[in-house]
Structure 1
Amino acid sequence: MQHQAVKDFLSNSDEHPIIDVRSPAEFEKGHIPGAHNIPLFSNDERAQIGKTYKHQGKDLAVKEGLKIVGPRMAAMVDQIENINPGKDLRIYCWRGGMRSSSVAWLFETSGYRCTLLEGGYKSYRGLMSSIFEELDIILIGGETGSGKTEVLQELKKLGEQTIDLEDLANHKGSAFGSVGMPEQPSNEHFQNLVIEEFLKLDPKTRIFVEDESANIGKVFLPEELWLKMKGSPVIQLSIDLEARVNRLVKDYGNNDKEELKSCILKIERKLGGQNVKAAIEHLGSGDLVSVARLLLYYYDKSYRFQLERKKSRIISRIESEEGHPKTLAVNIINKMGSEVLHGSN
């Protein structure tokens, strides 16, 4: 078996399956995207072996582990045969120690070629300390309903590098962000997904990202990325109110009214009792345009406050009455030109 540093380990992950041999609970909390979980121990078994190691020493813990794993070795080989018709595997545990080495021995005995991740999953998480440092990130900002996500999608179609953080988070970033979305990943796994997407891109070429808060719903951006974004240049979209109202009605109008009502109540203190009462009445009568207007009153005021803090970083303002995403994307590229913005932040 051979060992590889994290970037080399990940470089061939599309060709060779990645096997995570940690416990199901560890895997659920966060894992390398695309990895298959073939746990050496169950959650309870791992806890018990840990206690034995702590109180009775390594030798007894190893023997206890062998007693547990021995009867299931054939089943583990069956699992890997169902996952991988080829013979090359990439394997990791938490620190790149006994668990991954033991599983690699088993699979190599069964005819597979195994590569282990140096430093294990811990080294993968350590990528966050360096991956964002040299990137040219350009933020797309704008008031709620400006269609920033759609603009990112159009920029990608036009050949630009983009990262859709809200898509990775399964959340649209506001009090209404969970409406119509799947359950959010764990915070740790969200950050893994973010790392995975950035690793796919050319670090020497500009990357467009939506201007986000430190958190998107219940998950938080990697701190290193958030610090990078706080110093990155901003392209400010300025879209007429009517176009933004219509986009909100289109995006949210077909969702369950009770779910929308619960979201309105989340911002009751900031929106104000009278406005909340009016919004709920409009929602009940099906007047979604009036609901959207009331909500934008709150969100626009909040956004103007945030905008004041970053006005020195705004490198371009793009105004539009209709806010067509493709037109906005073309205008952004025309204004930016084809030059990578090295040193712009």
Structure 2
Amino acid sequence: MALTTSCPGLAMVVPQPIERFLEGTGPLLDVRTPAEFAQGHIPGAVNLPLFSDAERAEVGTLYKQQGRQAAVLHGLAVVGPRLKGLAADLAACSADAEGAPLRLTCWRGGMRSGNVALLAESLELPVRLLHGGYKSFRRWALELFERSWPLRLLGGRTGCGKTELLLALQQRGAAVVDLEGLANHRGSSFGGLGLPRQPSTEHYENQLAIALRALEGAEAIWLEAESAMVGRCRIPAGLWRQMKAAPVLEVQRPLEQRLAHLVAIYGQHDPDAVAEATRRIAKRLGPQRTAIALEAIANGEATEACRQMLDYYDRCYDHDLSGRGVVTVELGEQTAEQAADRLLADGLMGKHT
């Protein structure tokens, strides 16, 4: 069945369904406002806003108060002076793409992306629209998490180097989704130290959806055993339900090795920031451990500070995995690369079926 668009005059630009749109190689341009884009967008998209946040609000108010015609006329008045610059941006993007069609999207795939597509066509630039816009992408992403995925979890107490091991496995060809990397957070009260600002949960879901899509057909997809929240980002409900039922490979390391790993990660950060993160879990640490940890931080004794906090995190981890089927492997002082080679050589990455 042919897809059509509601934009009058847009006869030559046929909106594409989401899968075909995502398979394209041309620049992905999101013409929504900066605020809409920041809340969430298709990963890899570049924001080329037709309206500013305030301008879109004005158009929306006019639409509600005076109707479509008044809103359209005001929108044209706002955009008109910028058309030359917008056209130049489209031409530059197309030139960089070496002939691949520009891929355009807005919220519903209607007027905003449609009008920009008309402008691109007037410049004889190849262009594609997303049928249903970003809204259709969001529906596709959330449905993706409800599919059955062959998930496997890599577990281990705090400081075992699970993330580094997963990345080493990924470099060796294993199918891996880096939950913490996509969230810009290591998953504890200290997890945001030294990392960029976290995405919104909406955009986190978008990134996870694209990551999963790239692994379709894999026999096993490995993720780190996490709680439902990675910092402020929530793991999608459909994926989280499958994670709770997935088999777990638990890596173990000696306490001193774990402490050294944590000091290497967090010991370089501002002591005040580390102390603030410690205070956030003071009720769970208890007054005595909190006081000892804060004193150790103040004295530059990072190993002792980490030692005081590991008891709390170990108890949380053990509680989360209680009742689960777990296969354990002792890694000793092996590097992430050595451990990855060992797990692959021993066939442990394929035992959980």
Q: What TM-score bracket applies, with the shorter chain setting the length?
A: over 0.9
The answer as to 2:61 corresponding to 1:51 is yes
Map of 1:143 onto structure 2: 157
1:112 paired with 2:122, answer no
1:185 aligns with 2:199: yes
Q: Kindly provide the CA deviation profile for residues 64-86 of structure 1, in whole angstroms up to 9, marking residues without a partner as x.
A: 22222222211101122233314
- Contact kept, 8 Å, 2:175 with 2:218, in 1: the verdict is no
Q: For 2:351 and 2:129, locate their aligned partners in 1 and report how far apart those are by CA, in whole Å.
A: 37
What residue in structure 2 maps to residue 324 of structure 1?
Answer: 335
Letter in 2 for 1:10: L
- Cα distance between partner residues in 1 of 2:207 and 2:76: 34
**Partner residue in 2 for 1:6:** 18
Superposed counterparts of 1:63-78, under 5 Å: 63-78=73-88
> C-alpha separation between the residues in 1 aligned to 2:89 and 2:351?
46
- In the alignment, the residues of structure 2 paired with residue 126 and residue 210 of structure 1 have an alpha-carbon distance, to the nearest angstrom, of 26
Distance 1:197 1:248, change over 3 A: same
Please tell me whether the aligned partners of residues 18 and 131 of structure 2 are also in contact (alpha carbons under 8 angstroms).
Answer: yes
Quick check: 80-89 or 135-144, which moved more?
A: 80-89
Contact 1:206/1:340, CA 8 A, preserved across alignment: no
1:40 aligned partner = 50
Distance 2:328 2:115 in 1: 57
For these two proteins, the number of residue pairs brought into alignment is: 337
Matched with 2:103 is 90
| Structure 2: distance between partners of 1:334 and 1:202 | 24
Quote the Cα distance in structure 2 between the aligned partners of 1:70 and 1:335. Answer: 65
User: What SS does the aligned partner of 1:33 have?
Assistant: coil
Q: Does 1:288 align with 2:334?
A: no
**Residues 109, 129 of structure 2: 8 Å contact kept:** yes
1:216 aligned residue: 230
Cα deviation, 1:66-112, whole Å, max 9, x if unaligned, reads 22222221110112223331442110110111111111011101111
User: Which residue is equivalent to 2:40?
Assistant: 30
> Aligned partner of 2:137: which letter?
Y
State the TM-score, normalized to the length of structure 1. 0.92
Q: Name 1:313's counterpart in structure 2.
A: 325
Instruction: Tell me how far apart the structure 1 counterparts of residues 316 and 216 of structure 2 sit (CA, whole Å).
Output: 34
Contact 2:102–2:126 (CA under 8 A) maintained in structure 1? yes
State the identity %.
Answer: 39
Distance 2:242 2:137 in 1: 20
Superposed CA deviations along residues 117-166 of structure 1, whole A, max 9, x for unmatched, are 01100111112333231321111011100100011012112211111111
Structure 2 Cα separation of the partners of residues 189 and 338 of structure 1: 30
User: Are 1:128 and 1:224, in contact at CA under 8 Å, matched by a contact in 2?
Assistant: no
Q: Is the 8 A contact 1:243 1:323 kept in 2?
A: no
TM-score by length of 2: 0.90
Q: CA RMSD in A?
A: 1.8
- Going from structure 1 to structure 2, the CA distance change for 1:83 and 1:216 (only over 3 Å counts) comes to same
Structure 1: 5+ residue stretches without partners = none
Kindly indicate whether the alpha-carbon contact (under 8 Å) linking 2:31 and 2:106 is maintained by their aligned counterparts in 1.
yes
The 2-side partners of 1:302 and 1:235 are apart by 17
CA distance in 2, matches of 1:241, 1:258: 25
